[in-house]
Chain A
C-alpha cells in the first residue's frame, strides 16, 4: 500500500477507553466528523495485535471548554481550518471486537474475539479489504455474499452451513427490504448449504415474480432456479390470473384440522377463551376427524340440543359461529383433500427441491396462520420420524430443512409460543434438523425465549423502542448496537449478528432485481451435489 493511501485511511489515535465501553479515538485534524459514519469498520494498530472494531459513536470535543463559550472566529476559513482538529476536534468511539494477530493485515492465525484494548495512542485507520476478509472470510463453498460493509466495496459473507443449523430471524419495519433480503438468503442456503426450504409465501413474492416498489418486477426463486424450486399454490384462480402453472395445488380437508389449529387462530378469528374450550368439547363429542365439518353444519341447523348437551354458553356459541364461519371463505378447504399435501411436500423436499407455498388471493392472516401451523406440525412430525429412523438405521441423515414464515409474531407471541410447532422448532434447535427462518416487522411481539434461541439475527431499520430492545436482548455491546441500529438507512441496510459470522456487522444488502444481479447470483453450485432425482423433476417437465 502506498503511503498516500495509508494517510487517507488513517483516522486518528486511541486516547482512552475500555473493552466494555469501547475506546475513544481522537480524530485527525484533516478528517471531518461529517465523513464518518457510525457502523463503519476500523482497524487499530496495537503494539502487538491488530484490532478490528466498529465505530459506534461520533462526538465533538474541545480542548478547553472556554473555546465553546467564546468560539474562535470560524467564519474565517483559515481560522476554521486551523482550529478544527486542534482546539476543537472530533472524537470517535470504537468498539474493539476482534483481534487479528500480527500487526499487519492477513498475517498470523485467524481472528479472535477481542479480550483487551489497544495501547494508548495506537493508530486507527479505516479497515482495509484484507482486514474485512480476514475477519469475515472470503466468498467460498459455504460462505454467501450478502452485501458490503458501509462505504466499502469488500464482500461480507455469511456462513450458510452454520446459518441453517439454527433458527434465524429477519426483522425490520415495513418496506426496509426484508423480503428482498430473504430471497437472497434462501438462494444462499440453496447454493451453499445442504438444506432445503419450505417457504410459506403469504404475499406471493418468492416463487414467481414479486414487485419492487419501483414498479418493475423482480424474479422469484422458481424463475431463477426452476430445477430446484417447486411452487405449490393454494389458489388456482390466482395462478390463472398471473398465467403461471404451479407444481401442485394444495387442498386441505376439514378432517385435517385439529382443535389445536383453531386455538392458534384465536386472536385472528376473535375467539374467546370459552370458544376455544368449546372447540375441544366439540371435537370430543364428534369423536372423529369430521368434527369441524359437523360443527359447521350445526351452525346452519337447529343446534340447541348440542349446545345444551355440551353446556356451551349462548354467547360463546355465537362467538364460535362468527369465528369458524370465516374459514368457509377459504376455497382451499374441502371436505376431504384429493391428495396428501404433506406427503407431496416431503417428497419434493426429500429430492432436494425447495417448496414455495404461495397463498395467492388468500393473503389473509387467518389463512396463513392456519395453513402454516397445520402443515408444519405434520411435516415436522414426519420429518422427526425420518430423522429418528435414519439414526436408528445408521443411514444418511436427511438434509437440513428450513421453514420460512412471515408475520412470525402471529405464531410465536408469548401467549402461544410454548404451544405452537414453530415455538417448538425454535427451542429444540437443531436436534431434528429442522429450523425456522422468521420474518417480522414487530419483533417485540415474539416470545423472548424464542428470540434468544435465534442463531443469527438480521435487522433492518426498526424505529420502535420496544422492537429494538427485543432484538438486542442479551447481546453484548447492546447500547452501542442500538446506536448503530437507529442510524440504519430506511432500505437495504441491515445489522447482522449471531452464529453465522464472527462479529456484528452493518451491511448494505446486495442489490437484487437487475439482470446483472441475477447473473452474479450464478447457478446453484452447491446444489449440484444433490441433484434432484426422480418424480418431482419429471412432474415439472
Chain B
C-alpha cells in the first residue's frame, strides 16, 4: 500500500466508524477529508466527520491560561506539561474498503483494528476513490451526531479539487444525490447550495 502520512491511531472502533487519536496536538484532518487505515483483511477508507482537542482525563477540565500572553504558543512555552495533558482526536465514518486492489464502496467485513495506524489520503487516491459515487447512499443514510449534509458537502468540495474538471465532478455528484433524494427536494437543495465552490 502506498502510504500517505501516518498521523493518528485508532483508539475506538466499530464496523461503521472509528475514533482515532492524532499524534500531534491540533493535528486533526479537515472536516470531510478522506483517511485510510487497516483491518485484519483490508484497507479501510473513512470520512472525517467530527474532530476536536480535549483533556486526556475525562474529569479534568482545561482552564484558560493565556492572560497577558501574546499568542497561544506562548501559553505552551510557559506550561510545557500541557501538551501531555491534552489530546486531539477525530471520528471517521467508514465509506469503503480495498481488498486485493479492488475498491468497494460499502462496509468491510471487519472493523478497523485497534491501534491501527491512520494515514491521510493523497489527492490521487481521493480522485480514484471518487471515480465511483456509490458511497453517496451510505452517506445519505447514515445518522451522525453532526449535520450529515455538512460532511457530505465538505467531502465533495474537497474531492472535486482532485479532479481535472471540479465543476463537472460536482454536477455528477449532485445528480447522484438528486436520484437518492428524489423524495426530499428540500434536503437536496440545501446540500446543493453547499456544493458551490
Contacts and interface: CB of A to CB of B under 8 A. Distances in A.
A107 to B, nearest CB: 35
Interface stretch (B45-53, B117-125, B126-134, B171-179): B171-179
Nearest to A67: B185
A83 B193 contact: no
A29 B186 CA distance: 20
Contacts of B185: 64, 66-67, 70-72, 87
B110 interface: no
A225 to B, nearest CB: 58
A73 interface: yes
A394 interface: no
A86 B175 contact: yes
**Most B CB within 10 A of own CB, among A64, A71, A79:** A79
Nearest to B195: A78
A87 B188 CA distance: 10
Contacts of A81: 171, 174
B192 A78 contact: yes
Question: Binding site of B, secondary structure by majority: helix, strand, loop or mixed?
Answer: helix
B179 A86 contact: yes
A76 interface: yes
Interface in B126-176: 167, 170-171, 174-175
Contact of A82 (B178, B182, B186): B178
For this complex, into which size category does the number of interface residues on chain B fall?
A: 10 to 19
Interface in A68-101: 70-73, 76, 78-79, 81-83, 85-87
A63 interface: yes
A255 B89 CA distance: 116
A79 B183 contact: no
B196 interface: yes
B193 A73 contact: yes
A78 B188 contact: no
A82 B193 contact: no
B189 interface: yes
**Most A CB within 10 A of own CB, among B171, B192, B193:** B192
Contacts of A72: 185, 188-189, 192
Contacts, number: 53
B196 A82 contact: no
Given A64-B183, A78-B170, A29 B175 contact: yes
Interface residues of A, number: 18
B159 to A, nearest CB: 16
B182 A78 contact: no
A78 B196 contact: yes
Contacts of A86: 175, 178-179, 182
Nearest to A63: B182
B186 to A, nearest CB: 7
Interface in A43-78: 63-64, 66-67, 70-73, 76, 78
Contact of B178 (A70, A71, A76, A87): A87
A86 B188 CA distance: 11
Nearest to B174: A82
Contacts of B175: 29, 82, 85-86
Interface in A360-406: none
A73 B196 CA distance: 13
Interface in A138-185: none
A78 B171 contact: yes
A83 B195 contact: no
Contacts of B179: 86
Nearest to B186: A70
Contact of A78 (B174, B177, B178, B183): B174
A73 B183 CA distance: 16
Interface in B90-127: none
A83 B178 contact: yes
Nearest to B181: A87
B58 to A, nearest CB: 44
A67 B185 CA distance: 6
Contacts of B183: 63-64, 66
A83 B167 CA distance: 15
B182 A64 contact: yes
Nearest to B179: A86
Interface string B57-87: 0000000000000000000000000000000
14 contacts: A29-B175, A64-B182, A66-B185, A67-B182, A71-B185, A72-B185, A73-B192, A78-B195, A79-B189, A82-B175, A82-B178, A83-B188, A86-B178, A87-B188
Interface of B: 167, 170-171, 174-175, 177-179, 182-183, 185-186, 188-189, 192-193, 195-196
Given A64-B182, A79-B192, 20 more contacts: A29-B175, A67-B182, A70-B186, A71-B185, A72-B188, A72-B189, A73-B192, A73-B193, A76-B192, A78-B170, A78-B174, A78-B196, A81-B171, A82-B192, A83-B178, A85-B175, A86-B175, A86-B179, A87-B178, A87-B185
- Identify the 4 closest CB pairs spanning chains A and B, nearest first: A82-B174, A86-B178, A63-B182, A72-B189
